[in-house]
Amino acid sequence: MQRTLRPKGFTLARSDTMNTDRRYQSLLAAVQAGRAKAYLLPLLESLASEAEEASEPWVFAHRTLAELLLEQSPWRAALHARKLVQGVPDLAASHALYGLTMAMQGHYPLAISAYRRAVAIAEDNPWYFHNLGHLLDAALDDPKQALRWLKLAHEIAPEQVEVAASLVHCLIRLGARDEARDVLAEARTCAPRSAALDDLDAWLKSEDEPMPKVAVPMLLREEGGAADALEPDVDQPGFLQIQATLRAHGVSDAECERALAIYTIFATHKEHDLDDATLYAASVDYLLRRSEGRGLTIAALASRYGVSESQLRYRQGVIGTVVRAYMRSGD
């Protein structure tokens, strides 16, 4: 089990809901402002580990982590989505997000089961209807079962070209070409230059079966997801240099995330010049090791990173002071 970032002397307690709520509000604003993934991920991990299970901050942290990790690491996203399913089983978004992580990994029966639970809770969500129907049609080769869900999705969101494309795809497979042409013509008014609709139109005219895979519609994410608000850049000074230095010195991915959480808190609350990325990397590595009760001494770590022992002692002290103040205040 991943241990919580809590260096000796840091006083954040699990019961300190006021500080947790402040951190939640701060991170919520950061997501809405489009802060970079590299900035958000370690802080969200910290919030997820500190917040009370099933609380609003806990749900926000795990849901946002699952959304942000979905494309680059779907199996890690699935871990967070699974926690949501277990912690808040009545939340449709938990099941839908878990279904999406399963579909991304090719576990289609599990994905379909998850989406069935989602639509049973949220009876008017076109994204859930669409994804359930799309998986039945394109993944399990069952267009008859898929048609009901795709029609429901299209009734609720007729302006969504991707939804219309999935319905057209299913209708063609069932031989309902006239109805498919009607839906396609309507979709053309919203997206006259859609490549997906071009492919479907060509398939309708050719009478060929099966359809080329390039034209098969994609699964859709729910509108308003956290990932949609993010910029791809890294806006914290030196973040990538420190990350690369940590990894070059044998720090695991999980440990790297926790160490970078220390640096992210520091960089957010203290203006500084990144005069030596190696020294900063060694400093946050030391603070993490100390918080988790692991060696090395400052002298040994300074030798490993090739930095001055006195500089490392000073720099980790500065970073630790800022982070301790943050953990106490929750700002």
In the chain, where the domains are located: 17-229, 239-329
The reported pLDDT for the residue numbered 40 is 86
Return the SS3 of 288. Answer: helix
- What are 133-177's pLDDT values in tens digits? 999 998 899 999 999 999 999 999 998 888 999 999 999 999 999
37/92: higher pLDDT: 92
Question: CA of 295: how far to CAs of 11, 283, 289, 298, 301, in Å?
Answer: 22, 13, 6, 9, 9
Is the pTM for the entire model greater than 0.85? Answer: no
User: 1-15, 79-93, 316-330: lowest mean pLDDT where?
Assistant: 1-15
The helix, strand and coil proportions of the chain, stated in percent and rounded to the nearest 5, come to 70, 0, 30
| Residue 121: pLDDT over 90 | yes
122-135 burial code (b ≥16 CB/10 A, e <16) = beebbbbbbbbbbb
Percent of the chain with pLDDT over 70: 83
Mean pLDDT of 84-96: 93
- What are 234-268's pLDDT values in tens digits? 445 577 788 888 888 888 877 887 788 788 778 77
The reported pLDDT for the residue numbered 7 is 35
CA 298/CA 285 separation, integer angstroms: 10
CA 28/CA 17 separation, integer angstroms: 16
- What are 289-330's pLDDT values in tens digits? 888 777 778 999 999 999 999 999 999 999 988 887 766 654
Q: How many CA atoms lie within 13 A of 162 on its CB side?
A: 14
Tell me the three-class secondary structure of 91-153, residue by residue: CHHHHHHHHHHHHHCCCHHHHHHHHHHHHHHCCCCHHHHHHHHHHHHHHCCCHHHHHHHHHHH
| Average pLDDT over the chain, rounded to an integer | 82
Q: How far is CA 211 from the centre of its chain?
A: 32
User: 62-66, 211-215, 292-296, 325-329: lowest mean pLDDT where?
Assistant: 211-215
Per CATH, the homologous superfamily of domain 239-329 is Cyclin-like (1.10.472.10)
| Residue 215: pLDDT over 70 | no
CA 41/CA 226 separation, integer angstroms: 12
The reported pLDDT for the residue numbered 6 is 37
| Residue 101: pLDDT over 50 | yes
| Residue 14: pLDDT over 50 | no
Least Cα distance to 284 among 253, 322, 249, 258 occurs for 258
| Residue 180: pLDDT over 90 | yes
| Residue 45: pLDDT over 90 | no
The reported pLDDT for the residue numbered 329 is 59
Please enumerate in sequence order all residues whose Cβ is within 8 A of that of 211, keeping only pairs 6 or more positions apart, or say none: 169, 172, 173, 199, 200, 203
Mean pLDDT of 104-114: 90
Least Cα distance to 265 among 193, 191, 307, 318 occurs for 318
Out of 3.10.20.30, 1.10.150.120, 3.40.50.20, 1.25.40.10, select the CATH number for domain 17-229: 1.25.40.10
